[in-house]
Amino acid sequence: MSLQKIPSAGPEREALREKGQFWTPVWIAEAMVNYVLQDGCREIFDPAVGAGAFFLATTKIAGGNGKRIRLSGTEIDARALEEAKKNGLTSRDLSRVQITDFVLSPPEGRHRAIVANPPYIRHHRLSAAYKAKIREFGALSIGKPLDGRAGIHIYFLLRALQRLDLGGRLAFIMPADTCEGVFARSLWDWIGRNYCLQAVVTFAPEASPFPGVDTNPIIFMIRNVKPTQSFWWARCNRGETDALKEWVSSGFKRELDDLLQIFRRNLAEGLITGLSRKPMPQKATTLVLGNFASVMRGIATGANEFFFLTARQVAGLGITKEFLVPAIGRTRDVSGEEISVSTLNALEAKGRPTFLFAPDTRKMVDFPPTVRKYLKSGEALGLPQRPLIGTRQPWYKMESRPVPPFLFAYLGRRNARFIRNLAGVVPLTGFLCVYPLKNDPNFVEGLWEILRHPSTVANLSLVGKSYGSGAIKVEPRALERLPLPPEVLSRIGLEPRLESAQFVLPLAMAAG
């Protein structure tokens, strides 16, 4: 099978995101097919055939065993099947592939072996009407609607589990948000009650099956048998080897310490810790950031190009300081761990915006002429009709935030970090606002020492969503659950607010 060439940017990259089509490499496809074809299974179903990686792996494995495996599946994009033919599949191989929407219009029948790399299409790329339909399906499946931020891949998994025959096996490779998103607990509580999670395979960044793609992939291996209270968890440390296939083929018995880290884990612990994360080494309870601070997202303007201005734009428009707030927009505009007045001066010299245009609720006619003129230009651009701006009364009223002593760069390429705000800026949505629960200067200074400590930053992986190349994203409520290192807390000696939730590190169960 030819390697997929993934464009780094531009229209081709955008088209790839719209379809969510990222082809599965051979070493991954063969490991997943080996899992579902155990127990002498003679058929395989792929609900997202695409370029045919799993069919090709099946024909190779079947040929080596002198058997013929029945291939069937679905695909919504007929052009993808042409790619499958170029990769070596025949019309006969693809004769039982139906062109249909697997989630909303699946073929009848159940299957003993289901394997897939479902399309990774983020929720905001789905139409409102389609999202409503799949959410209705999800609610009927698990008894409650999933959060609207669940992508189409989640619903592929639900539909596939419905179609999994009694005793059958399923292997899906999916992004980490499958077990990290806000919907994850409801999803996995339902799966854990009704199916047996046998194994979870994660990947070190350098071993990712999809290098250059902004996602952290995970393989889930599930059986339609009575649930068990433990599962295998593995971290693949090197890609393009047979180690994963050999471990799966051995029934999860063969140990390959240098290539795979393998643990036997308790299911309850895995769901609390996160299936994408390593098991915790010890049982302990520790204080969290929420015991010392509250967290809010940065300001969402709805139109940064209009509300977030450079010093030159401010001077040209004649907008006075009454309607301006110093602001920071991009994480890459702050290279270190502090933002100061000199930082803002350097950004202004580069022509970067540093002022938030923040009108209040007064009527249009009550603004100075320069502000009124600028607001009318915004109306001419159609800003009041934009989704977020249209919910405001009046449309130009800007969100407000107290100046936070600390910012958090919540989506980083190995650079998620806390930032000391010495410039008195308010952040836009590229940052989170962190507000200490006490205004006492000694408390603020002590909290800063804790936040900047490497052990605190290392704990971000326990609460964040993981993406490609080691990037993580941490939402406000998740950041409040960030465990703070006990040894650092003890040295600094801050008094916490104990009524806030604490973080429990469950007991991990390592495989012998």
Q: Where in the chain is the domain with CATH 3.40.50.150?
A: 21-273
User: In whole angstroms, what is the distance from residue 146 CA to residue 162 CA?
Assistant: 16
Report d(CA 58, CA 73) in Å as an integer.
Answer: 13
Structural tokens at position 326: 């110093």
Task: Output the CA angle 211-14-475, nearest 5 degrees.
Answer: 70
What confidence score (pLDDT) does residue 475 get?
A: 87
The model scores a pTM over 0.85: no
pLDDT computed for residue 13 by the predictor: 38
Question: What mean pLDDT is predicted for residues 158-171?
Answer: 98
Strand, helix or coil for residue 412: strand
| pLDDT tens-place string over residues 187-212 | 999 999 999 999 999 999 889 998 87
- Tell which CATH classification among 2.40.30.10, 3.90.220.20, 3.90.870.10, 3.40.190.10 matches the domain 291-358+400-505: 3.90.220.20
Report d(CA 74, CA 158) in Å as an integer.
Answer: 15
pLDDT value for 286: 77
CA distance linking residue 474 with residue 466, whole number of Å: 9
What is the model's pLDDT at position 314?
Answer: 97
Q: What is the pLDDT of residue 463?
A: 85
Return d(Cα 59, Cα 93) in angstroms, integer: 9
- The Cα 336–Cα 343 span in angstroms is 10
- What does the pLDDT look like over 112-158, one tens digit per residue? 999 999 998 766 678 889 999 999 999 999 999 998 888 999 999 99
Count other C-beta atoms under 10 Å from residue 315's C-beta.
10
Domain 21-273 -> CATH class = alpha beta
pLDDT band at 19 (very low <50, low <70, confident <90, very high): very low
Contacts of 455-460 with CB under 8 Å at 24 or more apart are 455/485, 455/487, 455/488, 456/418, 456/482, 456/484, 456/485, 456/488, 457/416, 457/417, 457/418, 459/483, 459/484, 459/485, 460/416
User: 366 or 505: which carries more pLDDT confidence?
Assistant: 366
Sign of torsion over alpha carbons 339, 342, 345, 347: negative
Among 53-67, 79-93, 424-438, the least confident range: 53-67
CA dihedral 457, 461, 464, 469 (to 10 degrees): 100
Report the pLDDT value the prediction gives residue 311, as an integer from 0 to 100: 96
Bridge partners of 418?
408
So what's the pLDDT on residue 468?
64
Q: Which residues contact 97 (CB under 8 A, 6 or more apart)?
A: 49, 71, 72, 73, 74, 75, 81
Per-residue pLDDT band for 458 (boundaries 50, 70, 90) equals: confident
CA distances from 254 to 113, 249, 379 (A): 23, 9, 66
More confident of the two residues 73 and 335:
73
Assigned token pair, 396: 């130009």
Lowest mean pLDDT among 58-72, 300-314, 405-419: 405-419
In the chain, residues under CATH classification 3.90.220.20 are 291-358+400-505
441: cis peptide before it, omega within 30°?
Answer: no
